[in-house]
């Protein structure tokens, strides 16, 4: 730990300090509660400012890209900005919906989750990565516990707690194998991902790759699949979302998913040699996750359960991007596949967070929106929120010109590209296995788009309930203006991102490139490029 | 940027600005909203008319720059994905573009009193839909096309779902999901086209003319073409709709408000035929040639089936909806006859159908507004009560069944002559395999029966509703007054005449001087036809070789 690392982590430190202050102060304060939200927003703004200042390339000249356990690359910076934005949205959304006297705890926990997400983004060392992931999990327990609703809520929190602990343990077990593998071949064992990668590359080249690498991969994937709510570790999601408040459900749908994806990306490309296994397993998981999520969502009567399955399904789509990246990690296709996955995660998060915030706004007193009946007729009584929710639903369904469409465009281009590249050109002979692999990618694309069409069915149910049915309950929404503001911000992002998608695509690509930058390259160059790629210029093609 | 480009840009986005305007004046009351919507749609129509007037009379040859091009970067080259905002008009899109503007103005007029709830939202959706439609036809970038193509689903979903009849919710959702399911596969097909048509340096292009040129220079392999053809087919065939993918259409039509039906039949279905014409035929000629018999059979099945089902309908709107299935069969038959006359007839028929069926739906809407029912059995002799409406109905019916002198005659004749050429005249020249020629002959004959059936169901409808002894529903015919206190039934008023008069003018114009319309597109159609004919020859040669090899191996 050097001063550089501390400087790099300045924004995270700010966020954590504010979080701690909120926690401690919240215990003493008994007065009106929204002030903690404002305080937290201020903290997030300061952190964002610090982060922005770090982007000045001069700050990084003559410094190595790895700062102790952290790596500063485009992926890290982008994910940190996303985390801060996610934090701001949820801090806004909880402004009114929290019970009296708990505001400090909830806001503090959200900030801790944000700090955890930011740390995951840059962590390239096993212990740091694990701690960062736990920094997301533990405050989540608190949030869920505080936001529980009735006996079902208690059960959901307990379920989440135990499963989360279990998944962390499984992941940690996987990490222990990785640590052991890094010491194979007489090298000193290391927890740094770059060292693990180097040692695995050497072992693979020597033909002595231990089968334990596969074991490590499976354990790590199992642990992170819980965070992504991917099949078969998805089943907690509907119960937990159902049992908690809309805002909490939104946080759960967004924060672990982004962090889990980034952690998976970091770890996956530190494990060369397991690519073919990873490809098979992850593509199967992706197929099952999106199909099961969408089909189950069709049958749900509760809105939060429906969106829980929807969030499961979206986890499946973004895994497609990862599968594309696994095909040939050194290929440009892989970069765009990874970029697509990252873009999709953000695009999904914006719409999903917005949808949950809008639902939170529509709560009537302590009664949250539960069934479609609660949404009936709000197209007339609450035209603004209804329009926002409709925008989120259409974006999640991938209808242009909303941002969700560009996410789908990016995701589905990948497997199609791999398939077309696998076709024999001009009578060249191609191995059957390569052809079969190509067809597998085609199947992934076709099943993916058909899933998108199925998904539209339940998104439309929500829209139809809002606009085509008469109101059942005319009570005024009481979720507070904060939630409305959060939903509005997300709505603006969804529309603006849909009309001007170029910016998001460009940044996602630089992040994808950074995540795949081979570790053999001098790290200093990789960083310099990547950092500049974020701040201003497009990275020149190398 | 030339004046034409600016006008095109303004025409496309004028309705979108109109949405904001309608929103802004919403508090001032319904009638202000109506006039604003009308003004916006008329201004858009004026823009479209000006563009048509300036469009070069000899059309635009493929490979030259299209008319009124606007070409600006959209996603930016930095990301390596050079999706552009590229709009222009050419022979294939000009008339559908103009038709969209025309029918939107008609729709605003026919919704004047029919829509009484949430008036400002209704007109906002209608104008939003107009921007979508104009964008679909003007787009010269394949992704931009798809963006507009999918976007049109949203406003129509609301138009059907909020302002439709009893089963509107079900109809809206079914319409949306059906078309979305197809167009998602189309999306994959479009991506596959882009990924396959890489340039020399492997760079991607999304420009439709550039893609067409590249694929003309380096056609894709046959299997790949077939795969992409099927993917594109999924979306476009549902949109058209081609038999047996038509099941969403009658429901959507019957449940939609009048304006929705007019736009749906007049323009949105044409996005399907346009898709075939713009992408499948020019970019995948070999697959088109191979799929030709299938496509022709499906088209003719739709013609006959749609006509037979229309005969059996008791609801006027449903009858006309099924007549759409039949008529769109002609459009597809013409396109896939893959010869000059058929192609011209097919495209002209898409315009004709928009005019005549759009008008028919409007008239049914007017009858419904007066009597609140569409059941044919409840009517009789309306010509006595509403002579002007009856005259209009007869006129549009004649247009629809192809009376000489009106537009339908020209289109149907061209299509049928094209098909007959395919069945008989070309046999000696190019010589399709004997079996296929027999099939084509059957298809031609069956297509003609569609004309007869079409005359039957349409004239029968007119006869039952408008002629014979006067019979009105709801006790309107009871002595001394009108059952539900609606006041006397009025004949068409000035607004209703104004809604239909432009359609009548175009029906006559196309009927009398179709050359004006054909000239502007025939160049491009001929290029597509030539490419299709060449592909057909390749296909037949390949088939012949296969047949020979098969027979040799048998020996």
| Average pLDDT value for residue range B47-68 | 85
CB contact, 8 Å: B351 with chain A? no
Whether residue A216 lies inside any domain: the answer is yes
Among residues of chain A, what percentage have pLDDT more than 90?
A: 40
Q: Are B315 and B254 in contact (CB under 8 A)?
A: yes
pLDDT digits (tens, 9 = 90+) for A347-395: 999 999 999 999 999 888 778 888 888 888 888 888 889 999 999 999 9
Q: Which residues of B touch A499 (CB under 8 A)?
A: none
Using the Cβ of B520 and the Cβ atoms of chain A, whether some distance falls under 8 Å is answered with: no
A176 pLDDT tier (thresholds 50, 70, 90): very high
Angle, CA A518 vertex, CA A513 and CA A520 arms, to 5°? 150
Separation in Å, CA of B117 to nearest CA in chain A: 11
Tell me: the pLDDT tens digits for A282-334? Answer: 999 999 999 999 999 998 989 999 999 999 999 999 999 999 988 888 777 88
If pLDDT is split at 50, 70 and 90, which confidence band does A418 have?
Answer: confident
CA pair distance A429, B458, nearest whole angstrom? 59
> What is the residue extent of each domain of chain B?
299-477+490-555
Our count of domains for chain A comes to 1
pLDDT higher than threshold 90 for residue B491: no
For helices A246-268 and A236-243, angle between their N-to-C axes, nearest 10 degrees: 150
How many other C-beta atoms can be found within 10 angstroms of the C-beta atom of residue B142?
24
Q: Do B76 and A506 touch (CB under 8 A)?
A: yes
Q: Pick the more confident residue, B372 or B428.
A: B372
Confidence label for B264 from pLDDT (cuts 50, 70 and 90)? very high
Asked if B191 lies within 8 A of A506 by C-beta distance, the reply is no
In this model, does residue B483 exceed pLDDT 50? no
Distance CA A529, CA A378 (A): 49
Per the CB < 8 Å rule, is B184 touching A450? yes
Least confident of B38-52, B310-324, B526-540: B526-540
A492 to each of A162, A389, A488, B149, how far by Cα in Å? 38, 12, 6, 23
Task: Return d(Cα B55, Cα B468) in angstroms, integer.
Answer: 48
Q: Kindly report, residue by residue over A483-504, the tens digit of the pLDDT.
A: 999 999 999 999 999 998 888 8
- Residue A242 domain-assigned (yes or no): yes
Residue B439: its pLDDT value, please?
Answer: 84
- The C-alpha atoms of residue A117 and residue A104 are separated, in whole angstroms, by 20
End-to-end Cα, chain A, rounded Å: 32
ipTM of the complex in this document? 0.87
Chain B residue at shortest CA distance from A466: B162
Is the pLDDT assigned to residue B379 strictly greater than 60?
yes
Taking the C-alpha atoms of residue B423 and residue B432, their distance in angstroms, rounded to an integer, is: 9
Distance, in Å, from the CA atom of A258 to the CA atom of A74, rounded to the nearest integer, reads: 15
Mean pLDDT of B518-536: 87
Q: Which residues of B touch A468 (CB under 8 A)?
A: 161-162, 168-169, 172
- Test A505 with B161 for CB contact under 8 angstroms: no
B548 touching chain A per CB within 8 A = no
* Location of structure tokens 């940190």: A80
Q: Across the A/B interface, how many CB contacts are shorter than 8 Å?
A: 92
- Identify which of B78, B162, B184 has the shortest CB distance to residue A452: B184
When mean pLDDT is compared across A23-37, B242-256, B436-450, the lowest value belongs to: A23-37
Q: Could B143 and A409 be called an inter-chain contact, meaning their C-beta atoms sit closer than 8 Å? A: yes
Is A509's CB within 8 Å of B151's CB?
no
Window 202-241 of B: residues touching A by CB (8 A cutoff) are 221, 224
What is residue B551's predicted lDDT score, i.e. its pLDDT?
Answer: 83
The answer to the question of residue A320 being in a domain is yes
Put simply, the answer to whether B161 touches A468 (Cβ < 8 Å) is yes
Query: Would you give the distance in Å from CA B475 to the centre of its chain?
Result: 38
Show Cβ contacts of residue B158 under 8 Å, excluding neighbours closer than 6 positions. Answer: A467, B121, B125, B172
Q: How far is B337 from chain A (nearest CA, A)?
A: 30
Of B78, B151, B196, the CB nearest to A400: B151
Task: In whole angstroms, give the CA distance from residue A136 to residue A142.
Answer: 11
Q: Which domain holds residue A334?
A: 3-535
Q: Pick from B191, B206, B219, B257 the residue to mutate for testing the A interface (most A CBs within 10 Å).
A: B191
Is A333 part of any domain? yes
- % of chain B at pLDDT higher than 90: 48
Whether B173 and chain A come into contact, CB under 8 Å, resolves to yes
Residue A541 lies in a domain: no
Please tell me the predicted confidence (pLDDT) of residue A305. Answer: 92
Residue among A449, A505, A509 whose CB faces B188 most closely: A449
Instruction: Evaluate whether A526 touches A517 at the Cβ level (below 8 Å).
Output: yes
Query: Which of B117, B174, B176, B194 would best serve as a mutation to test chain A binding (most A beta carbons within 10 A)?
Result: B176
* Residue A540 belongs to some domain of the structure: no
- Write out the E strands in B134-250: none
For B78, the closest of A450, A464, A538 (CB atoms) is A538
Q: Which of A397, A416, A469 sits opposite B191 (nearest CB)?
A: A416
In a domain, A16, yes or no: yes
Give the residue from chain B lying closest to A417, CA to CA.
B195
Measured between beta carbons, which residues in chain B are less than 8 angstroms from residue A449? 184-185, 187-188
Cβ distance of B187 and A412 shorter than 8 Å: yes
Q: What does DSSP say about strands B84-89 and A66-67: parallel, antiparallel, or unpaired?
A: unpaired
């Amino acid at each position: 730990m050097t001063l550089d690392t501390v400087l790099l982590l300045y924004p995270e430190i700010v966020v954590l300090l504010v979080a701690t202050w909120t926690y401690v102060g919240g215990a003493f304060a008994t007065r009106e509660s929204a002030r903690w939200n404002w305080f937290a927003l201020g903290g997030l703004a300061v952190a964002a400012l610090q982060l922005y200042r770090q982007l000045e390339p001069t700050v990084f000249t003559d410094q190595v890209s790895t700062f102790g356990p952290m790596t500063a690359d485009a992926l890290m910076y982008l994910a940190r900005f996303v985390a801060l934005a996610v934090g701001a949205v949820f801090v806004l959304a909880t402004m009114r919906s929290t019970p009296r006297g708990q505001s400090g705890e909830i806001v503090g926990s959200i900030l801790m989750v944000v700090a955890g997400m930011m740390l995951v983004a840059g962590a390239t060392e096993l212990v740091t990565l694990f701690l960062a992931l736990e920094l997301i999990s533990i405050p989540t327990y608190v949030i869920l516990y505080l936001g529980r609703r009735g006996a079902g809520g208690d059960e959901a929190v307990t379920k989440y707690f135990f499963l989360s602990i279990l998944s962390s343990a499984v992941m940690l077990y996987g990490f222990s194998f990785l640590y052991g593998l890094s010491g194979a071949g007489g090298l000193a064992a290391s927890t740094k991902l770059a060292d693990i990668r180097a040692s695995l590359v050497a072992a693979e080249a020597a033909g002595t790759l231990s089968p334990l690498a596969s074991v490590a991969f499976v354990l790590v994937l199992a642990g992170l699949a819980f965070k992504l709510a991917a099949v078969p570790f998805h089943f907690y999601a509907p119960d937990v979302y159902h049992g908690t408040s809309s805002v909490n459900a939104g946080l759960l749908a967004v924060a672990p998913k982004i962090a889990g994806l980034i952690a998976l990306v970091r770890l996956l490309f530190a494990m060369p040699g397991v690519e073919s296994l990873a490809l098979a397993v992850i593509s199967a998981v992706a197929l099952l996750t999106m199909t099961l999520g969408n089909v189950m969502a069709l049958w749900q009567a509760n809105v939060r359960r429906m969106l829980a399955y929807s969030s499961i399904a979206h986890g499946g789509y973004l895994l497609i991007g990862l599968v594309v990246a696994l095909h040939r990690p050194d290929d440009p296709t892989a970069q765009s596949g990874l970029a697509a996955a990252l873009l999709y995660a953000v695009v999904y998060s914006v719409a999903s967070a917005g949808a949950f915030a809008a639902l939170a706004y529509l709560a009537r007193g302590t009664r949250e929106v539960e069934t479609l009946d609660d949404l009936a007729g709000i197209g007339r009584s609450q035209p603004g929120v209804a329009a926002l929710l409709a925008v989120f639903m259409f974006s999640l369904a991938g209808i242009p010109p909303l941002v969700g469409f560009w996410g789908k465009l990016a995701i589905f281009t990948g497997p199609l590209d791999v398939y077309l590249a696998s076709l024999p050109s001009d009578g060249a002979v191609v191995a059957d296995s390569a052809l079969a692999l190509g067809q597998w990618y085609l199947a992934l694309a076709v099943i993916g788009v058909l899933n998108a069409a199925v998904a539209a069915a339940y998104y439309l149910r929500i829209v139809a309930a809002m606009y085509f049915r008469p109101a059942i309950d005319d009570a005024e929404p009481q979720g507070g203006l904060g939630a409305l503001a959060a939903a509005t911000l997300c709505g603006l992002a969804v529309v603006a991102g849909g009309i001007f998608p170029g910016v998001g695509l460009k940044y996602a690509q630089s992040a994808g490139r950074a995540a795949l930058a081979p570790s053999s390259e001098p790290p200093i160059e990789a960083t310099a490029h990547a950092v500049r790629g974020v701040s201003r210029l497009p990275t020149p093609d190398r | 940027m030339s004046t034409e480009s600016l006008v095109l840009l303004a025409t496309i986005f004028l309705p979108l600005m109109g949405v904001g305007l309608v929103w802004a004046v919403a508090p001032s009351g319904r009638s202000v909203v109506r006039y604003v919507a009308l003004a916006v749609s008329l201004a858009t129509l004026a823009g479209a008319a000006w563009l048509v007037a300036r469009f070069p009379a000899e059309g635009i040859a493929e490979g030259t720059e299209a008319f009124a091009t606007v070409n600006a970067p959209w996603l930016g080259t930095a990301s390596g994905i050079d999706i552009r905002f590229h709009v222009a008009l050419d022979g294939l899109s000009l008339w559908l573009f103009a038709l969209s503007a025309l029918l939107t103005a008609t729709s605003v007029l026919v919704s004047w009193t029919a829509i009484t709830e949430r008036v400002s939202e209704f007109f906002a959706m209608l104008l939003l839909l107009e921007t979508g439609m104009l964008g679909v036809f003007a787009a010269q970038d394949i992704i931009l096309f798809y963006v507009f193509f999918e976007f049109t689903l949203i406003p129509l979903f609301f138009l059907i779902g909020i302002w439709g009849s009893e089963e509107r919710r079900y109809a809206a959702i079914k319409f949306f999901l059906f078309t979305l399911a197809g167009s998602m596969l189309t999306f994959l097909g479009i991506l596959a086209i882009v990924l396959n048509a890489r340039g020399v340096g492997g760079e991607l292009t999304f420009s439709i003319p550039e893609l067409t040129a590249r694929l003309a220079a380096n056609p894709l392999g046959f299997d790949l073409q077939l795969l992409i053809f099927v993917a594109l087919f999924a979306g476009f065939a549902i949109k058209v709709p081609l038999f047996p993918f038509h099941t969403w259409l009658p429901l959507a039509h019957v449940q939609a408000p009048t304006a929705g039906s007019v736009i749906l039949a007049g323009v949105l279905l044409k996005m399907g035929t346009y898709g075939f014409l713009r992408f499948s035929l020019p970019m995948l000629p070999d697959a088109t040639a191979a799929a030709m018999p299938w496509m022709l059979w499906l088209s003719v099945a739709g013609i006959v089936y749609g006509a037979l089902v229309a005969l059996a309908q008791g609801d006027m709107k449903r009858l006309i909806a099924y007549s759409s299935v039949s008529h769109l069969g002609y459009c597809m038959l013409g396109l896939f006859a893959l010869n000059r006359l058929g192609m011209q007839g097919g495209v002209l028929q898409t315009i004709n159908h928009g005019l005549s069926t759009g008008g028919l739906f409007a008239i049914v809407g007017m009858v419904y507004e007066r009597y609140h029912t569409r059941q044919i059995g409840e009517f009789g002799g309306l010509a006595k009560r509403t002579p002007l409406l009856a005259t209009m109905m007869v006129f549009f019916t004649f247009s629809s069944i192809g009376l000489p002198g009106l537009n339908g005659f020209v289109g149907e004749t061209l299509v049928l002559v094209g098909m007959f050429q395919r069945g008989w005249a070309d046999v000696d020249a190019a010589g399709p395999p004997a079996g296929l020629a027999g099939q084509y002959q059957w298809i031609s004959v069956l297509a003609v029966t569609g004309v007869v059936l079409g005359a039957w169901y349409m004239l029968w409808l007119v006869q039952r509703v408008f002629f014979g002894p006067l019979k009105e529903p709801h006790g309107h015919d009871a002595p001394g007054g009108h059952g539900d206190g609606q006041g006397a039934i009025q004949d068409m008023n000035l607004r209703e005449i104004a809604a239909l008069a432009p359609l009548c003018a175009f029906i006559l114009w196309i009927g009398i001087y179709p050359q004006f319309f054909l000239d502007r597109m025939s160049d491009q159609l001929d290029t597509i036809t030539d490419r299709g004919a060449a592909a057909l020859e390749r296909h037949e040669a390949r088939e012949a070789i296969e047949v020979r090899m098969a027979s040799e191996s048998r020996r």
